[in-house]
Chain A
């Protein structure tokens, strides 16, 4: 399957994420949109990794050492980091809800002062 399809899907996912972050005010949805962007990137990593492995294998088989697995490793890292991030982020959102009884990010403008 050509890599283009993956790229378009990733692009669509990323754009959805960006638009979501920019337009929504609900902290949890913004959060989810960020996750979508991360996953768009993950998808690209895996796709390119696989593609490169295939291209190299076709051009010079002797130099190929792996089977395009390093991109997947990165993806695992990102997943782990994202999980950690989610736990921190959700905790912040919970604290926020407890304090101001809302998860609207527009209330969080105290950094200005």
Chain B
């Protein structure tokens, strides 16, 4: 494996430096070309690497010793293997498309801010690549923190809006809570094994040195990290708020790449996770709970991006459910197809928002299909894919997850099926409300409606195509023998998974799921083909207000902490520390004022004091000598 792999992250880093340092000089065109071009370069190298990996050339590339102390040696090294190669393609490929899309979407920004946007975006791609390329957990952690930082910067991109800044802070703090888990897991590994390099941690000797408790704790800590980054219960509330950022950012960071870092972490560590049964159960249940919770919330949201955000949380829950079942390949597969169709949906919603002049409320849209055909058509593909309609990519990846759920735990499978129905429902509700029916916005908006420029539609079309064909890399065995190309490709890292379900059962499952999806689509069509004002019942209100989870967190965490901070500020600081400091000063002032009275200017008193002092000294001398 040659050192050329270093170029993959270095190119976006270069783009970040140029765009970041010269943002006042560069024109918008130059910034756009540098931003997109560097990612394109990274994509081309990634494709070359992928071909290498397919030919069996995997390996570690070491650059320099990064940290070394005592017996611990942590090199700055990249690992290129099958899992990394797939992630590289997703990150740079989808990343490039989103960069191109951004050049048009962000065109109304002023030039320095435009370049700043691309600088952040490039820095994000760099960090994400570092995350997946690192050959040990420390390098991964650098990327892990880097993407968190970029997410913060990009959510707060429009920094003049305090609400957006709050959303950015929320995302950062939530992520930091998860990152603590990552750090602790790394420390635990260091303490037990004195190494964090993947190859050494996963070796048979190392695993023998770990007790079952160690493995459970380490995997649980890693999972805590994953819940932060990948927005799972209890740390998921930052993701819907993160929609404050520009739409392409939501597509790249909060749908396609960064939020799947948690899945990468678990899939990378699958050897340890497979040995920790407790952790597996925790992951599966948290995954399915997140999927259900987010899906129910999404049903009642009216902001086009919020629906997609909750849908992302829900789909991430799906992926964790798969991880909990030990179906790592299925999870990675869903990461890939989800990256395609969710990026597509987000970019599509961006196109809609662009046409509506910034309006995001779907109640004020409608009938957009005839104005923006390409957007409508690609959005439809995205919806069909996420719903899991046969022949679209989502069908294959969801089917793989549902199948492994069916195999392991029927209750989880049932909930997952319910989530699939809910997903179909809210996606088609979104689609029909946005594109069908009659227009419900203002006259001015209707006049303004237009298809987006080509820089936006072409990425949509490419992602649309990928959303269809992306699923065919892993066709279930029942259709084509040896169709699970992805599973075979990943076999060196993730042991091949064979299903113990009979073919008849599998057909029945697929048929059942498909039927369910079809029924839900028809139901949604009947309900939303013409728009009616909705009145919420009590349960509807509960959903529209997101189960009041934010309020709950405010009450049980934010408020007590604020109260404690207020207590410390007003009581401990004011009357404790301040009082001590001021007291010292006041004591000195008081005593000096009293002592100053001695300087009376009366020679007699001076002499008297002098003699008294001398007598005192004599007396002391006389008595202490004894």
A residues neighboring B (CB under 8 Å): 18, 21-22, 25, 105-106, 108-113
Known: A105-B603, A112-B599. 15 other contacts (CB 8 A): A22-B604, A22-B607, A22-B608, A22-B611, A25-B604, A106-B602, A108-B603, A109-B600, A109-B601, A109-B602, A109-B603, A110-B601, A112-B600, A112-B601, A113-B601
Residues of B within 8 A of A18 (CB): 611
Q: Which residue of B599, B600, B604 has the most chain A CB atoms within 10 A of its CB atom?
A: B604
Task: Supply 23 A–B pairs (Cβ within 8 Å), ascending by A.
Answer: A18-B611, A21-B607, A22-B604, A22-B607, A22-B608, A22-B611, A25-B604, A105-B603, A105-B604, A106-B602, A106-B603, A106-B604, A108-B603, A109-B600, A109-B601, A109-B602, A109-B603, A110-B601, A111-B601, A112-B599, A112-B600, A112-B601, A113-B601
Query: Closest CB of chain B to A7's CB: distance in Å?
Result: 15
Which parts of B317-332 form the interface with A (CB within 8 Å)?
none
Residues of A within 8 A of B600 (CB): 109, 112
Query: Closest CB of chain B to A77's CB: distance in Å?
Result: 22
Residues of B within 8 A of A109 (CB): 600-603
What is the 8 Å Cβ interface bit string for chain B, positions 352-367, against chain A (1 contact, 0 not)? 0000000000000000
Closest to A108 in B: B603
Residues of A within 8 A of B602 (CB): 106, 109
Q: Complex formed: what's the CA distance from A106 to B601 in Å? A: 8
Q: Complex formed: what's the CA distance from A25 to B607 in Å? A: 12
Closest to A27 in B: B603
Residues of A within 8 A of B604 (CB): 22, 25, 105-106
Closest to A106 in B: B602
Query: Closest CB of chain B to A81's CB: distance in Å?
Result: 20
Closest to A111 in B: B601
Q: Complex formed: what's the CA distance from A48 to B457 in Å? A: 118
Q: Complex formed: what's the CA distance from A60 to B405 in Å? A: 117
Q: Complex formed: what's the CA distance from A106 to B607 in Å? A: 12
Q: Complex formed: what's the CA distance from A112 to B611 in Å? A: 20
Query: Closest CB of chain A to B181's CB: distance in Å?
Result: 71
Closest to A22 in B: B608
Closest to B596 in A: A112
Q: Which residue of B602, B603, B608 has the most chain A CB atoms within 10 A of its CB atom?
A: B603
What is the 8 Å Cβ interface bit string for chain B, positions 592-619, against chain A (1 contact, 0 not)? 0000000111111001100100000000
Query: Closest CB of chain B to A111's CB: distance in Å?
Result: 5
Closest to A18 in B: B611
Query: Closest CB of chain B to A88's CB: distance in Å?
Result: 17
Residues of A within 8 A of B611 (CB): 18, 22
Q: Complex formed: what's the CA distance from A25 to B279 in Å? A: 97
Q: Complex formed: what's the CA distance from A70 to B600 in Å? A: 42
Query: Closest CB of chain B to A105's CB: distance in Å?
Result: 5
Query: Closest CB of chain B to A72's CB: distance in Å?
Result: 26
Q: Complex formed: what's the CA distance from A21 to B614 in Å? A: 15
Which parts of B570-608 form the interface with A (CB within 8 Å)?
599-604, 607-608
Residues of A within 8 A of B608 (CB): 22
Residues of B within 8 A of A106 (CB): 602-604
Which 6 residue pairs across A and B have the least CB separation, nearest first? A112-B601, A109-B601, A105-B603, A111-B601, A22-B608, A109-B602
Residues of B within 8 A of A110 (CB): 601
Q: Complex formed: what's the CA distance from A109 to B611 in Å? A: 19
Residues of B within 8 A of A21 (CB): 607
Query: Closest CB of chain A to B604's CB: distance in Å?
Result: 7
